[in-house]
Structure 1
């Protein structure tokens, strides 16, 4: 058992004992462990992106990615620590990609942003939010999450073009890459690919 599991279970036992126990220790500890790993993710992304000279791009991308994912969920590796490593690699890699995107071609940037936002809108409208294996989401909560994330996308598109207009190309790209990544990891194909990967290499299930 990892340190994060031990710590989250210890905290969860205290929380559950002081409430109506509407959730089990396992459910609460899982959420606490994810929160702890999120904090570590933010810290590691900040430090690593600083050394890679892509701090602003990575932080902006990660902010929008986590914001959207908070309402929609998405595919996870079964092992939280593997998820932590892969998530950091994805964010840092995309941050570097944003750093090297062209910053003088307005037409190319506009098309890139539009394609990313439209694709994300379609995927979120069709599949958001993903179901959890440990908490049942009501239909009303699902509809609310879908409305929130699609509204964010509608408002975020003119924001990205506003950034382009004032020559903040890197931040506009960071937003578009963030919503694209979130949509890709929400699409059922990602669940299928990750499940096959874990079955083949890790022999573990995949949760969403």
Structure 2
């Protein structure tokens, strides 16, 4: 996405929705008007997934996490347009999740169409690497789910092995989501694009 020099100024002008400067670090519940369960999406894309979830589940607070300020503009615009009070956004590197959140305060983690980082030397950057799984386990309440979707077969296989080695319990595995699509599935922008190209969509739901 083209760089927007005014991106940070725009996001900071919407600081009731977007935390650019870690203002709510270690106190995420104060960012919302009501105390509800907190679900996080690590990597928001253009925001269709998290905003649709929020519309469908007004009794849950959603936190969309994105590192790209230009992408975050699009997500912020959707939240504003829809008038959602149960979505808050963090301009944050996923490596800093444990610096931002407290242990055991998150009820669910979503990972949708994450960068596959296909080169072996970049494996630690994959959001299902054991280092990230360690963070999720600390953040999540006991028995809570990590939900993961991808069209990338290599990342799917890596994630299966990584989660299994970490001792996670697989609650659901779907090797072709769109073959018999569950009614609860929410298609992201990337999901629509990859599906139209004939890619299979893989889905994992796993708990610690």
Alignment TM-score, normalising by the size of structure 1: 0.29
Structure number with greater Rg is 1
Higher relative contact order (CA closer than 8 Å, sequence separation 6+): 1
The structure where strand makes up a greater share of residues is 2
The structure where helix makes up a greater share of residues is 1
Alignment TM-score, normalising by the size of structure 2: 0.29
